[in-house]
Copies of this chain bind each other. A is one copy, B any other.
């Protein structure tokens, strides 16, 4: 990466896996891999003997803007050379190989990646070519197999999809984003007093309009109405809009009479 204008690669989180494609075939797929990597904050791509040579203009086109991942990709003749400087290697496979070893899900691997990096180790993940996946000799270079639990009768992932899952699982652990939030746009959430003010005015109007048929049921009906508006998580602006709606309905009723 030295020497290039690497704005796209600045500010990426450190400690992610090196992504290693072994004998990838289509430039389009390599480009989609680069995009999926950058979506998840990864930038280091290695290619082992890409079928159509390198650089490949189709890869750039399919990268949809992840150009610098493509530009910085490095090419190796053999898988052994591509993993030489790494302390830990993972191999992705779509199906059991009858080989002996540790097999983990992308999720468990994403968690382990964080620990492997913390322990000061460089690590990478091998992905096989589109047609047949990794050769068993490549799998033998790995410490651990990553296998996504997928539909057993339709298991084969597109290459970029496989890279996406592994990259995504790492990134989700790396960033620790909140799982849920209430988006309030440009407006602020209404204070409870504003909401209650609207509700009491509404209920008074409903009394006027003869909405509550039975006085005995009034409390439970009021509670249900309040709950409905409460649940909506209204903003101040929306409460003002509701006041306006109620007034407009009353005016419309006045005209009809």
- Write the residues of chain A forming the contact surface with B, with a CB cutoff of 8 angstroms: 8, 11-12, 32, 35-36, 38-41, 64-66, 96-105, 107-108, 145, 148-151, 153-158, 160-161, 164-165, 168, 171-172, 175, 177, 179-187, 233-235, 238
For the complex formed, measure the closest distance between the CB of A69 and the CB atoms of chain B, giving whole angstroms.
9
The reply to whether A98 and B172 contact each other, CB–CB distance below 8 Å, is no
The reply to whether B98 and A185 contact each other, CB–CB distance below 8 Å, is yes
The reply to whether A150 and B171 contact each other, CB–CB distance below 8 Å, is yes
The reply to whether B40 and A101 contact each other, CB–CB distance below 8 Å, is no
The reply to whether B105 and A180 contact each other, CB–CB distance below 8 Å, is yes
Partner of A183, one of B103, B150, B238: B103
The reply to whether B161 and A38 contact each other, CB–CB distance below 8 Å, is no
The reply to whether B179 and A107 contact each other, CB–CB distance below 8 Å, is yes
The reply to whether A154 and B65 contact each other, CB–CB distance below 8 Å, is yes
A156: chain B residues at CB < 8 Å are 39, 64
A181: chain B residues at CB < 8 Å are 102-104
The reply to whether B150 and A104 contact each other, CB–CB distance below 8 Å, is no
A97: chain B residues at CB < 8 Å are 183, 185
For the complex formed, measure the closest distance between the CB of A165 and the CB atoms of chain B, giving whole angstroms.
6
The reply to whether A168 and B165 contact each other, CB–CB distance below 8 Å, is yes
- Indicate the member of A150, A157, A184, A233 with the most B CB atoms within 10 Å: A150
The reply to whether A151 and B171 contact each other, CB–CB distance below 8 Å, is yes
In the complex, what distance in Å separates the CA atom of A184 from the CA atom of B32? 34
In the complex, what distance in Å separates the CA atom of A35 from the CA atom of B107? 21
Residue of B nearest to A105 (CB): B179
A180: chain B residues at CB < 8 Å are 102-105, 108
For the complex formed, measure the closest distance between the CB of A198 and the CB atoms of chain B, giving whole angstroms.
16
Partner of A38, one of B96, B105, B154, B179: B154
Besides A99-B185, A148-B168, 19 more A-B contacts (Cβ < 8 Å) are: A11-B153, A39-B151, A39-B154, A39-B155, A39-B161, A64-B156, A65-B154, A97-B183, A97-B185, A100-B187, A102-B181, A103-B183, A104-B181, A105-B179, A107-B179, A108-B180, A145-B183, A161-B164, A164-B164
